[in-house]
Amino acid sequence: MSVTKFVAATVTAVMLSGAAYAQTVGFTTLQPGSINHIKAQVIGKVVQQKSGLQVRVIPVAGSTATVAAVQNKEAEFTIGDAANMTDAVAGRNQFAKLKPMSDLRIVAKLGDFAIGFMVRKDSGLKTIADLKGKKFPIGWQAFPQGIPLSLAIFATAGMTLDDTNGINTSGLIPAANDFKAGKLDATMFALPAPKVREVDAAIGGVRWLSLPNDGAALKAVQSIRSAFTIMTVKPNPGAVGVTEPTNFLNVPSLISAGASVPEDVVYKFTKAMVENKADLVKGHPSFRGYRIDKSMTDQFAGAQYHAGAIKYYKEKGFWQGGS
């Protein structure tokens, strides 16, 4: 089913009752349960309240579909990780068989989020290396970004997916469901995602396998994607399954738009996000890490910012790119 038909049939509309707006924009994201889905919902609601744009949040089947919808002008905005976006623009890695998506433009670096491998709390698995021969998801047909994310973590232990007992999965949510059902020994997920809390409650607790965090480990993850780094998460109420300082894969998150989206629309969208952080935090605590400073305009090789976003950042003194 095309995104256009999907919008008409099952779109998640973020609306304010009784309000009328001059323009509706589509905002693609991953399926419910993922951190990107809940972030898109929160951003959509805040942008709509503060900008006069009507934002429709559109969950689609995977990380390729999110950016393809924007490239094909079936949606105006999307949310995803930097490596996925830049790979799509260049037509490389998981996008190598597709035409480069050269009409994608960055709107903002939304921050960084933690990706890791979760295991059962009572399992004997303690390190990444302990997953050798264990049941772990492979395939990732609907979420091809699952492959480089998994490979980057395994690289810190000198491993690949071939070192596991691979169990085919289509995407993030199916893999998490298989893990919950006992069909997998571990799975990959974003720490703050709602699905993690669901799984944690269902199986009596989850734990995260800590990555090594040294120069060799950083070199290993960046051999998979240059945008990846390593971050340490300390125990906190939002970090389900983190009972001691734990190292995760650190992945930059981006909001992107189509090059053909009018400059004033992207300007309004950007302004509403930047100037209403308190409302974003009310929607989900992960936005506490959303930095309102020059880091929002970090540059990524091969990717351009949208002119509407650049205009706003120049006014704020945040722009780090060229003239």
Between 14-23, 47-56, 143-152, 245-254, the lowest mean confidence (pLDDT) is in 14-23
Give me the long-range contacts of 230-233 (CB less than 8 A, separation at least 24).
230/156, 231/112, 231/114, 233/114, 233/191
pLDDT category at 286 given cuts 50, 70, 90 is confident
* Residue 44 in tokens: 């959509």
Distance CA 26, CA 102 (A): 19
Does the pLDDT of residue 11 top 70, yes or no?
no
Contact in structure between 83 and 145 (CB atoms under 8 Å) = yes
CA distance from start to end of the chain: 41
- Tens of pLDDT, residue by residue over 144-169, are 999 999 999 999 999 999 999 999 99
pLDDT category at 217 given cuts 50, 70, 90 is very high
pLDDT category at 61 given cuts 50, 70, 90 is confident
Res 238: pLDDT: 85
Res 14: pLDDT: 41
Judge residue 235's burial from the number of C-beta atoms within 10 Å of its C-beta, 0-12 exposed, 13-18 middle, 19 or more buried: exposed
Mean residue pLDDT across the chain: 92
- Tens of pLDDT, residue by residue over 235-248, are 998 899 999 999 99
Does the pLDDT of residue 6 top 70, yes or no?
no
* Phi, psi at 293, each rounded to 5°: -165, -165
Mark residue 147 as left, alpha or beta (left: phi above 0; alpha: psi -120 to 50; beta: remaining): alpha
For the domain made up of 3-112+252-316, the CATH class stated in words is alpha beta
Does the pLDDT of residue 69 top 60, yes or no?
yes
Nearest to 229 by CA among 114, 130, 95: 114
| Paired residues of 229 in beta bridges | 250
Q: Enumerate residues 6+ apart whose C-beta is below 8 A from 77.
A: 25, 26, 27, 28, 70, 107, 255, 256, 257, 261, 269
Q: Enumerate residues 6+ apart whose C-beta is below 8 A from 117.
A: 128, 131, 153, 186, 187, 188, 208, 209
Give the residue extent of every domain in the chain. Answer: 3-112+252-316, 114-251
Q: What is the DSSP letter of 167?
A: E
Instruction: Assign domain 114-251 to its CATH architecture.
Output: 3-Layer(aba) Sandwich (3.40)
> pTM higher than 0.75, yes or no?
yes
* Residue 165 in tokens: 């007992």
Q: Taking residues 23-28, report their average pLDDT.
A: 96
